[in-house]
């Protein structure tokens, strides 16, 4: 019996690799989890190898799975390119990754803009730690990533600077000198955490990390509970229950860049970069608010 690598199973397999689990892959493909599992078993039968194994609450590829993944992407790319050559279009899915503190203000606007500039493209957002998103771009699991920090990489396209603001609970008072200022921060590594501590140190203000969180909601909750101050990128929109601080040194903005995976067409990456440039050039009060339902949350910020 001849062995065949069908297109539909290959799409399911790539989705499992990109999302890290069968259920999330099923959701992204609008299939049942049973269908995705069956597709992967069909590929394992065709190759005679185990391709996916359980890892904690999710899944990960085996060494043989990683080998097939690279070929699967090539096969699907050629398949879709061939159909486009005959005027038959398949909906392209683009995975855009972002850290959570950048996503809160950037993704609603970006989702709205890309609906116009890339109408035939299905956008899926993934929220994760910056280090994980860089790995995803390098491995082809993430097409584009919005990352804070220096854009000292050929894959990175600078789009502007994010202004940063100190926040505390309303009425919260700074401790009298020389007591250190308590800071609420994301777990390391985090560009916002580094910029907060650097800003205070540069102004000879003692500080200590008094609370840490892996998600934006945790940081905001800790600040609202009066555990300290936090530095956030909010485009001038004060989070509910918090108050901006003007009695601390103004931090330098953080550069924002769009990182693109190898081989991604500029037809896809250019509209994303341009939309973000336009947003960052606007006054804070004109920030657009919209919904972005197709979002995957990973552990971390």
Per-residue model confidence as pLDDT tens for the chain (301 residues): 468 899 999 999 988 887 778 877 776 677 788 999 999 999 999 999 999 988 776 788 999 999 999 999 999 889 888 887 887 766 667 888 888 777 767 777 788 788 778 777 778 888 888 888 888 887 777 888 888 877 777 788 888 888 899 999 999 999 998 899 999 998 888 889 999 999 999 999 999 999 999 888 889 999 999 999 999 988 778 888 999 999 999 999 988 888 888 767 787 888 888 888 888 876 553 444 444 445 454 544 3
Task: Give me the torsion for CA of 266, 258, 130, 280, rounded to 10°.
Answer: -150
In contact, 144 and 272? CB cutoff 8 Å: yes
In angstroms, the Cα distances linking 19 to 12, 23, 29, 57, 174 are 10, 9, 11, 12, 43
Regarding the domain delimited by 92-160+254-297, which CATH topology (the fold level of the hierarchy) does it fall under?
A: D-Maltodextrin-Binding Protein; domain 2 (3.40.190)
Residue 148 has a pLDDT of 84
The answer to whether the CB of 116 falls within 8 A of the CB of 92 is: no
Every domain of the chain with CATH number 3.40.190.10 lies at 92-160+254-297, 165-245
Distances (CA, A) of 133 to 100, 146, 149, 253, 294: 11, 9, 13, 21, 17
Buried/exposed code over 100-122 (b: 16+ C-beta within 10 A; e: otherwise): bbbbbbbbbbbbebbeeebeeee
Long-range contact pairs involving 47-51 (C-beta distance under 8 Å, separation at least 24)? 47/3, 47/5, 51/13
Q: Which helix (H) or strand (E) holds 259?
A: strand 254-260
Rg (C-alpha) for the chain, rounded Å, is 22
Query: What whole-number distance in Å separates Cα of residue 165 and Cα of residue 231?
Result: 6
User: Pick from 246, 235, 232, 234: which is nearest to 284 by CA?
Assistant: 235
CATH 1.10.10.10 domain range(s) in the chain: 7-85
CA 221 to centroid of chain Cα atoms: 22
CATH architecture assigned to 165-245: 3-Layer(aba) Sandwich (3.40)
Q: Which residues pair with 232 in a beta bridge?
A: 165
CA nearest to 139, candidates 151, 123, 128, 152: 128
Helix segments in 140-265, DSSP class H: 191-202, 216-224
Could you tell me the pTM of the whole model? 0.63
Instruction: Specify whether the CB–CB gap between 164 and 195 falls below 8 A.
Output: yes
CATH of range 7-85; options 1.25.10.10, 2.60.40.2470, 1.10.357.10, 1.10.10.10:
1.10.10.10
| Contact of 162 with 276, CB cutoff 8 Å | no
Q: What is the dihedral of CA 266, 269, 274, 275, to 10 degrees?
A: 150
What confidence score (pLDDT) does residue 299 get?
Answer: 41
Number of H-type helices and E-type strands within the chain? 9, 13
Beta-bridged to residue 61, according to DSSP, are: 52
Question: What is the C-alpha to C-alpha distance for residues 135 and 261, in angstroms, rounded to an integer?
Answer: 10
Please check whether residue 248 is in contact with residue 172, taking contact to mean a CB–CB distance below 8 angstroms.
no
Query: How far is residue 169 CA from its own chain's centroid?
Result: 28
């Amino acid at each position: 019996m001849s062995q065949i690598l069908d297109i539909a199973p290959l799409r399911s397999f790539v989705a499992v690799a990109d999302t890290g689990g069968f259920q999330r892959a099923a959701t992204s493909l609008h299939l049942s989890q049973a269908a995705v599992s069956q597709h992967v078993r069909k590929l394992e039968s065709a190759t005679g190898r185990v391709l996916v194994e359980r890892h904690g609450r999710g899944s990960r590829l085996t060494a043989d799975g990683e080998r097939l993944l690279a070929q699967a992407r090539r096969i699907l790319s050629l398949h879709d390119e061939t159909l486009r050559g005959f005027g038959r279009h398949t909906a392209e899915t683009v995975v855009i990754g972002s850290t959570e503190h950048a996503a809160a203000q950037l993704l609603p606007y970006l989702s709205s803009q890309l609906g116009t500039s890339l109408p035939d493209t299905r956008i899926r957002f993934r929220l994760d730690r910056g280090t994980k998103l860089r790995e995803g771009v390098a491995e082809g699991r993430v097409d584009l990533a919005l990352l804070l920090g220096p854009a000292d990489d050929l894959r990175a396209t600078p789009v502007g600077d994010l202004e940063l603001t100190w926040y505390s609970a309303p009425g919260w008072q700074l401790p009298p000198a020389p007591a250190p200022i308590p800071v609420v921060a994301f777990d390391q590594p985090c560009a916002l955490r580094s910029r907060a501590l650097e800003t205070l140190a540069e102004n000879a203000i003692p500080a200590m990390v008094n609370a840490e969180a892996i998600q934006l909601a945790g940081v905001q909750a800790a600040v609202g509970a009066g555990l300290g101050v936090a530095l956030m990128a909010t485009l001038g929109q004060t989070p509910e229950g918090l108050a901006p601080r003007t009695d601390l040194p103004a931090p330098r903005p953080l550069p924002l860049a769009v990182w693109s995976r190898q081989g991604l067409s500029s037809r896809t990456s250019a509209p994303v970069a341009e939309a973000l440039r336009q947003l960052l050039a606007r006054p804070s009060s004109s920030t657009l608010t919209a919904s972005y339902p197709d979002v995957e949350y990973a552990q971390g910020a």
